[in-house]
Chain A
Amino acid sequence: MKKYIISSVLLLIPVLLFSQTNLKGMIMDKNNPKDNRGIYGANVRWLHTNIGAVTNEKGWFSIPYNPEHKKLVISYIGYKTDTITITSLKPIHHFINEESGLSEITITSRKKATQKSFFATVNVFTVNSDELLKAACCNLAESFETNPSIDVSFSDALTGTKQIQMLGLTSPYLLITQENIPSVRGASQAFGLTFTPGTWVESIQITKGAGSVVNGYESIAGQINAELVKPFSDNKFFLNAYSSLNGRLELNTHFNQRISKKWQTGLYVHGNYRGEKFDKNNDNFLDAPLANQINVMNRWQYTDAEKGWVSFINFRFLNDEKQTGEIDFSPTLDKGTTNAWGSEIDTKRFETSAKLGYVFPELPFQSIGFQIAYSNHEQDSYFGLNIYDIQHKSVYSNLIFNSIIGDTRNKFKTGISFTYDKYDELVNATDFGRKENSVGTFFEYAFDNLDNFSFTAGLRLDTHNLIGTFVTPRLHMRYVPWKKGVFRASVGRGKRSANIFAENQQLFASSRQINIDNAGGTIYGLNPEIAWNCGASYLQKFNLFDKKGDITFDFYRTDFSNRVVVDWENPQAISFYDLEGKSVANNLQIEVNYEIAKNLNFRTAYKYFDVSTDYKRGNLQKAIQPENRFFANISYETALKENDAQWKFDVTFNNIGKQRLPNTASNPVKYQFSEYVDSYQLLNSQVTKVFSKKFEVYFGAENITNVKQKNPILASEAPFGSNFDTTIVYSPIFGRAIYTGLRFKIK
């Protein structure tokens, strides 16, 4: 009997020991690590068991331990639930994160308004809202004035719409996305950039060269992505009012509201109006169109950090009306007649998009994203007797899966995308309607050795109903040869179908005859444009006289295998034809950024462009494209006072070099341009007075030296005659523009 008892007791001992063995630990708030404050009432529990404990006032807990138990679940209301592996009885010391850990404050030095990333594999730089505020950028097209990589030019004398260029190629060759959803394309190509108000833009990422395969196959010269303000992080209320001496009035308001713990919504309203008629150059034509735009966007943001879901839903409506032409033109009386020459461009656009992202809570390196967007763009317009109507319905969707191979040094993205575009396009009496759709799949692998070398290699395969099945390869690499120096190179292919009319709408405001040299292709009888882009970039950061600076050398070359040549070389006609021969765009850029003194920043850039194409009459440099450009920007801010008051000053100088003009030799002498125009200089400046965190006023002037093109409209006295042409615009038309505005915000 005794024996039994002893043995039983012996057997029991380990059990008793076990039950008495406790794991101790302390749970603390990650946000208050300094004062070591424990969390009272946090739950601690072994995974898949009912064994649990609660922390005391000091954050301490003690929980029965058993080697079988490996995983400890720590939870507390309002905090992220953590599961940690316990391998020994050593007391643990664990910090838990607030649920809104996504917005965890990271300590950084003052962010520069433009950031060139040192670590990104692709040659990308980010322009944040501070930079955008340097010029009263009223819309996306105007937000690049202080940025040397993007050139702003004017597309025509009529609408004065600003067009942007990168690497010597105009915006159709750039992939312009809004939060990574392609946005300015198809029918909205000409005016699309003016449809995004500047105050809606939170930041812009500019990628030079071949982009990522994730967003599609269309980008050739680069990608511009605009991130819009988010209901979650934007001000509760924002107001921006702007008025300019050239009769332009603008109003922007933002309202952001938290609906619940997880839902935020924002309503953004933009309106601009220009009702005054100006004809400063006395050509009997309006210098700037009468305009009227209402632009409304409603965003919904859903964030559930605990479960890993993030979602955005957008609705947007735009109504844009422009009227231009002769001063006395009255749409109701003169439309469709030759009484007076006039033009109206009315655009209605509706778009909606949704994004859904899921980050695996246990696997922060793995996520799935889904994007879907629908837009309906309707433009009704006439230019004198030319009628141009286009309706473009578009569906875009993209499913992306992100994960790793082995560890986070090897990442990949893969997915499938689907696009659908339906165009109803009417040019005078000719119907150019068509449907385009494509299905594609992509895979992008990114390697990073965590030190000095990384690369991204992407490949996509698409099947398009009109341009066939094709592959799009893209490769980017980054190498750090020595301290603060980074070398990047990229190569990639892009393919797109040109929307010849939408992209060249200015042609309608001329008496040019439209010729399409049908090559038996599937879009307007033309073949898709295909180009290879390759480039290299070297960035060196330095310290000179104890001040930071950087210098960048970029060289990019775009080589077209096929291009739809837009031939303006005959003043009586415009011809579209497939490239026969060569079309190359070379671009060299040297940029220097330097902080001369505290809060005094200097940026300068020299750019060289060599853009030539084999036209029918021979190889020519691209018309209205300066070979040399020089850019300089100085910005200064006074030190911040206690109430955040300060002054900000900004000056931008541009030297636009000699430009070749399209051939006008066959015109009567009166309507001829010289072969080249001389270089000219532009100067813009803005002063901002910040009164407090809530209120600021700005005042500025564009084109201070009042540079104007003498006769932007050829044969303006005979607009229905055979020499009328508004397309040859190589410098500003309007002259000096002075503006002022205010910004008011409530956090």
Chain B
Amino acid sequence: MAPRKPKPKPKRAGDGETPGDVRPKLAVWKFASCDGCQLTLLDCEDALLEIAAKVEIANFPEASRAIVRGPYDVSLVEGSITTSHDAERIHTIRRASKVLVAIGACATSGGIQALRNFAEVGGWMTAVYGRPDAIPTLRASTPISDHVKVDFELHGCPISKEQLIRVLGAILRGNVPRLPHHSVCLDCKRNGTVCVTVAEGQPCLGPVTRCGCGALCPSHGRGCYGCFGPLAEANFGGMGRLLEVKGVDAAGRARLFRGIYGAAEAFRVESESHGRNRT
């Protein structure tokens, strides 16, 4: 028996009721990534149908087959650029987008896959794949802003649901999104979480990491590993020295800075001051 015939047409997301939809068009794009940041949108369970009623979901393949042609009012871009094809594709997306928001550690710093930037990729390719020559990959994994103008960056690995809704709301109202800009360390104080470095001597990147997670790791009794990226103007050298005082060896210090946001400038520079290129 053949499956039910797909319903004819509705090619426009959410249409059926409003021909000539005037809702702003939202598009979600993916580059090298784990899909976690766009999944964050689907994880807005309580608000999902409400958001879907306010915007036209014009391109979001993880959620819908319906693809509406651009231009798009807002494009959310997840993932980093790691292939020459993607380096071209991002320009097409930029041209089709009024506002382009890079979401997540990959799109804003190159992501965890930017750990390759510290190494000789060829050896890894041979180790992982049988026929590395057949796989097109660039030597470095780079953020979206290295390739095109980005209107707003939303950080985190993964991004915060609340921040995403806030940023989308501001952009759709025509406002410039504003997010809090302080360290994870400050949120710990506000939450009344006991400092894991002071009380237990655990290494913690909280003082130099951008807020947004709600200071999650220390609330679980562990040090921050920097998954919202470096906070601009933090004292990274001082952080490095503190780690040293707390007994973290040079390789450990280099590794701590060289994690989820390893290729972000401030973390990269600090990591290189503790350890040369990886072994």
Partners in one complex: no
Q: Give the B-binding residues of A (Cβ under 8 A).
A: none
Q: Give the A-binding residues of B (Cβ under 8 A).
A: none
